[in-house]
Structure formats: C-alpha cells, structure tokens
Amino acid sequence: MKIAMLGWEFPPFVSGGLGTHCFELTYRLAKFGVQIDFFLPVGAKQEGMPPSLRLIEVAKTIIFPYLSFSKSKSKPPSYGENLIAAVEEYSRDCVRVVLEEAKKSRYDLLHSHDWMTASAALQIRKILNIPWVHTFHSTEFDRTSWPWEYIVGIERMAACEADRIIAVSKRTKEQVLRLGAAESKIRVIYNGVNFERFASSSIPSHSTQIKKEKQIVLFFGRLTEQKGPVQFLHAAKKVLEKKPNTLFLVAGKGELLPLLINISMQLGISHNVRFLGFVPEEEQRMIYKLADVYVMPSTSEPFGITALEAMSSGTPVIISKTSGVSEIIKAAIRVDFWDINAMAEKIIAVLSYTPLSKTMSQLGMKEASLHTWDKTAKETLELYKEVSKVF
C-alpha cells in the first residue's frame, strides 16, 4: 500500500502534538511495510527514516500553524497578516508536487492532517480519484473562543468531503459531528506515547540541587488561552500560600507570554515562577523528570500527549476534565479548568503526601506503557484497508 500524506509539522519544527503525531505515525506505519510519501514544508528533516518513508519538501512557507493572534469581539482573530495567502499558496504547491509524484507511481490512498492541508487534499482526491482520510487533531472551536469562519469553513468542508475521518478522541469526534460530518465515517483513534524515550530519561547532575531545595510544579504547552496558563498561575498563587517553597515552571511559547509575566508580578509570585520559553526535546524529558507534579489545565484539549509523556516519566499528573486523554487514563487526577481552588488543593495534596505521589507515579507509568504509537499505527492501517475496500 502506498500513501500520499499531507502535513504541516514534522520535527524539528513542532509547535504541539501535531508534529509529534505525524512523526510517530509515519515512522511506525513505514516499519509495518506501508510506503509513505510525506509532503510538508521545506526544512523539516529527520535522519534515520525507514526506506519506505520519504519526506518530500513541497515549498518554503513563512508561517507555522497556530501562530500568535489577537482577539476582539468586533472582528475575527488575526492569525498573522499573511496566513490565508500562505496557506493557499502552500495548497497550490502541494497539489502540484503530489500530482508530479503520482505520475511516477500510483498512490492507493491520500491522508491529510488538520485544516491547513485539507483544501489541497480535496483537489488531489478529485484528480487522482483515490480515497481520502483526514485526521482532525483539533478544531477551531478548540483553539479559540472566537472561531474564525475562514478556518471553520475549511474544517467543515473536510468533515463533509473526506471518505473517512480520524478523530484523536471522543471529544474531538463530537466537534467533528458539529461540523456536519456523518458519524458513520468517523473513527476515534487515540494518540500514543514513546514510553521508553521518557521512562529512560534522567535528571542531569546540575539540576539535582534544585530538586533537593524546592518542589516543582510544571506547565508545558503553548501559551495560549486554550492551554489554560492563566488558570495555572492563579492556582500557583493559592498553592504558595500553603507551600511557599514551591517552584512553578512554565515551559512553552505563545502570544500570552507578556500577559503571563505581568500576571505573575501582579499576583506577587514572580520569584517562584520561571518562564522557560521553547524547550528542545532532550530538555523536555529532563523537566518532566524534574517535576514533582505536572498540571495540564487546558480549557479545551482534543487529546493531550504531554500527559502521557509526563506519566511515562514517572511524574504524577493533574489534567483538565475537558481533555481527550482523560477518556483513556485512570492514574491521573481530574479537575475542572475553571476551578482554581480545586486545582490548587490537588497540587498541594500531591506535593504533601508521599504515598499518593508514589502511587500515582507507579500506576501512571504502568498505564502510559499501554498506549503505544504502534497501537495507533495499527488502528490507522486497519482504517486504510477498510476505506480501500469500499472505495
């Protein structure tokens, strides 16, 4: 089976779970013998790929998904001045390059990811007359309180036109149904985690002193409204009233960074908060191990791969009830993202009671080890076979 796969993110350019998913999925599908041509913007390169996986660079692009934006009730959010033009230009280039490759060798199926590749996928499907599978990693309803109709329109088209749809959680499935998709063609296939990569990591010697001196609470994600960093800081304020020797790490970048810095100062907790900015993969594994508890307070989280990564690292996890990963894990404490008091109480409980922390760590690692990318890839391959038979 030969697949033409359209993407936007791939390591080293990763802004969230989309890039991680695309790398892990394609790598494992290729290991299972599937031939994949992965079409993506120029610059995203990986060494050591299986022979059956080709990364084909389509064109340069000036932006990446989910760039900073401002919100206003009087107008839709601006995701960057040139977003529409850049996406449309990339779509045209993508169609051209895929059709050129299709002349050399026929594709059996087309697989696209998220809204930025959906328009190109529709055109390619019509020309090549092959089945089209589209994965929704999130929707515009998840990303912002003020959905941009331009993006919603593309997502609605993909929901209605794709032959099969993969949703990364039941929560995401409900959003796709909201876009008008027929329920019969939606399949929920959960993300996974590279358990060994995170379980085998360790705390560098230069960081052990920090671990001895302070208890550490970690937030790791894009600094956007969707991820709940403001709620995290307000919960931090309440935790510090009870446990003043706690350090809060905020890892990630995004448009809310200036606001978050100001909030930490206004709350009088800036000396207990460290904004780490972008964290490379190797350091990500280190900070998971360094943390005494990981908090994912997302207001709307289609899945939440970082929770599985933290659990694989042996770190106790507190997650928002409005997250897809909460559908498949039990060894985590759940909290309403808006309930700052409850969030603080749960953080304090994990930091204060060693038996609770140890039990969550042990059960979390055991549970995370079950959610593999191999499982995700096998379920995706079964869907490929299903749609190929009926097309």
**pLDDT tens digits, one per residue of 298-309:** 999 999 999 999
User: Is the separation of the CB atoms in 226 and 303 below 8 Å?
Assistant: no
pLDDT, one tens digit per residue, over 315-346 is: 999 999 999 999 999 999 999 999 999 999 99
pLDDT in tens, 208-241: 667 667 999 999 999 999 999 999 999 999 999 9
- Cα distance from N-terminal residue to C-terminal residue, the chain: 14
* Count of helix runs (H) and strand runs (E) in the chain: 15, 15
The Cα 177–Cα 162 span in angstroms is: 13
323: β partners: 301
From start to end of the chain, where are the E strands?
Answer: 2-6, 35-40, 53-57, 70-72, 75-78, 109-113, 132-136, 164-167, 186-188, 215-220, 246-251, 273-277, 293-296, 317-320, 333-335
Evaluate whether 351 touches 215 at the Cβ level (below 8 Å). yes
The 8-class DSSP code of residue 44 comes to: -
- Torsion angle of alpha carbons 382, 304, 78, 40, nearest 10°? -40
Return the CATH class of domain 2-192+372-390. alpha beta
Beta strand pairing call for 70-72 and 75-78:
antiparallel
Helix, strand and coil in the chain, % to nearest 5: 50, 20, 30
pLDDT value for 79:
47
Q: Residue 18 and residue 116: Cα distance in Å, rounded?
A: 12
Chain centroid offset of residue 350 CA: 25
* Domain definitions of the chain by residue range: 2-192+372-390, 195-368
Confidence of residue 72 (pLDDT cuts 50, 70, 90): very low
pLDDT at 8 over 60: yes
- Taking the C-alpha atoms of residue 313 and residue 369, their distance in angstroms, rounded to an integer, is 10
- 8 Å CB contact between 318 and 350: yes
- Contacts by 40-47 with C-beta closer than 8 Å and gap 24+? 40/6, 40/7, 40/8, 40/9, 40/10, 41/8, 41/13, 41/90, 43/13, 44/9, 44/10, 44/11, 44/12, 44/13, 45/12, 46/10, 46/11
- Residue 51: how many other CB atoms lie within 10 Å: 7
- CATH fit for domain 195-368, picks 1.10.10.10, 3.30.930.10, 3.90.1140.10, 3.40.50.2000: 3.40.50.2000
The Cβ-side half-sphere exposure at 62, using a 13 Å CA radius, reads 10
What is the mean pLDDT of the segment spanning 166-172? 97
pTM, full prediction: 0.90
Residue 308 one-letter amino acid: L
- Cis link prior to 11 (omega < 30° from 0)? no
Beta bridge partners of 218: 249, 294
Q: Do the two domains 2-192+372-390 and 195-368 of this chain adopt the same fold?
A: yes
266 phi and psi angles, rounded to 5 deg: -65, -35
Q: Which of 209, 286, 284, 274 is nearest to 236 (CA)?
A: 274
pLDDT tens digits along 115-144: 999 999 999 999 999 999 999 999 999 887
- Is the pLDDT at 7 greater than 60? The verdict is yes
Residue 128: predicted pLDDT: 96
339-386 per-position pLDDT tens digit? 999 999 999 999 999 999 999 999 999 999 999 999 999 999 999 999
